[in-house]
Chains A and B, each alone.
Chain A
Amino acid sequence: MAVIEVNDLVKRYGRLPVVNEVSFSVEQGEIFGILGPNGAGKTTTVECAEGLRRPDSGSIKVLGLDPVRDRRELSHQVGVQLQESLLQEHIKVWEALDLYASFYRAPKDWRELLEEWGLADKRQARFATLSGGQKQRLFIALALVGDPKVAFLDELTTGLDPAARRITWELIKRIRAAGVTVVLVSHHMDEVEELCDRVAVFDRGRIVALDTPSSLISAVDADQHLRFRPLAPFDDAVLTGLPGVVSVTRSGNRVIVAGRGDFATAVTSALARDHVPVAELRVEQHTLDDAFLALTGRTFDTQET
């Protein structure tokens, strides 16, 4: 069952379309990723679905509701964490949760959320004194306090250190486990690869691909590389004739085999058959970065300014 349906969404700022005929649907219970460089239209798309912005054309249904017309009803059923949003400097953690809980018809017990999100010992702490990771956990807890069916999380781990990001990822998996559909906006490839069931890749206001992260990666039509150090001499011709192998090159005592598809298995079995033991075997697999490059012809990082 689709909980979010977006059809031909267009949103312009001035005359410039920032979201241009975007269509996708999000299924019940999945973590749906919206990936793309800054300025690709990700946040604008999500803000239209949250009812914060009015689309110029196209339609959006979230849980069967129109986000603009049925905004109040929808707000009871969705939880939102906004990019670059803060709380009042002097508000205490428990006060924020207690306050937001009071907005909803059927809120969760915020005391449980405090425990669950590791904020119990920060209960009396003021917002301004929290660390980046603690603030993010509080924002997630606030997004969940209304017991939503859908949670929108925008650039959740930006500004967090690697350890805090890992912890946050585990927590997001827990949200899905509880049956909440999650829409995750991110410009971090690794995050999307780790968490999302499906991902829509945005570029310049359009969706350039929509699939599972692994399908997007395996669809990359470019050579992969296998590197190893042979412990016995062998003839390159043993490998060059194998299916999928494109080239074999030597660099010092290393051998680099370029190829496509399942060539790595063919290479390792050929070497084993000829009794060539190898050391330091590495397969360089494609990542979503490669997928993005293949889809747009541009690298991801150069888009960030």
Chain B
Amino acid sequence: MTGFSKLAKVESKLLLRDPSAIFSMAVPLFILVIFGSGTSPGDTALPSLSMTIAVGLVGLYMVPTTLATYRERGILRRLSTTPVSPGALLSVQLILQLVFALLASAVLVAVSVVIFQAALPARVVAMVTAFLLGTSAIFAVGLLIAATAASGRAANGIGVLLYFPLAFLGGLMQPKEAMPELLATIGEFTPLGLFRQAIYDAWSGAATQSLLLAIMAVYALVIGLVAARIFRWE
């Protein structure tokens, strides 16, 4: 087996051994189950919200913590003395975290539909597009945290500190209608707010708002490039 695929295999085992993976799966599932019984059949707002929590936790908490820890422990540096570059490990991690976010989302969709009679996603292609663009935008923020944090612990702290205001602004903690108008408007354009709205639109069958997708793409590109630019390997 070549270095890259073996790396992917070992890293996926490590991802599943990481308690934060269970946490990132359990929290959105818990929210869905607790509040799910109070929703009317066909509702897709709560499922979209739980999916946003899952991707937010993976992107803002798992991605930066893992990468900054790998740098802090000298794992990236050690790899650069082997024929496999540390960039390979970085790519493997981002792909695995993306797959993990996708699996967590799939579980949430299944539980929503099967147990809480949520409607089936109305427009699957639009939903996958929203998922990929939104996840890229959120991961870019995570990568930026990893690039700037001095240690794994610091990355973890920044991730958590950033998650709560973003979750609040993104309407994950209370309905948008209950927020001051200005905050609600700002919140619509934060990564988590955009993701939640775009997923909800696609799931419920509302018209796709191209502006939301475009902003997410810009976030992914601009923040991702900045992060890649300032990322230190050691």
Give B contacts to A, CB under 8 Å.
1-3, 6-7, 10, 13-14, 17-18, 70, 73-75, 77-78, 80-84
Contact = CB atoms under 8 A, between A and B. Distances in A.
Interface in A75-94: 75-76, 78, 80, 82, 84-88, 90-91
Interface string A50-94: 111000000000000000000010011010101011111011000
A91 B82 contact: no
A191 interface: no
B14 A50 contact: no
A27 interface: no
10 contacts: A51-B81, A80-B78, A80-B81, A85-B77, A86-B75, A88-B75, A90-B17, A98-B10, A99-B6, A99-B7
Interface stretch (A15-23, A100-108, A176-184): A100-108
A103 B78 contact: no
A76 B83 contact: yes
Interface of A: 50-52, 72, 75-76, 78, 80, 82, 84-88, 90-91, 95, 98-100, 102-105, 146
Contact of B83 (A50, A72, A82): A72
Given A76-B83, A95-B10, A102 B77 contact: no
A146 B82 contact: yes
Interface of A is mostly: loop
Nearest to A91: B14
Of all A-B residue pairs in the complex, the 3 with the closest CB atoms, nearest first, are: A85-B74, A102-B6, A86-B73
A102 B81 contact: no
B93 to A, nearest CB: 11
B83 A85 contact: no
Contact of A52 (B73, B75, B81): B81
B199 to A, nearest CB: 32
Given A50-B81, A85-B78, A103-B84, A90 B2 contact: no
Contacts of A76: 83
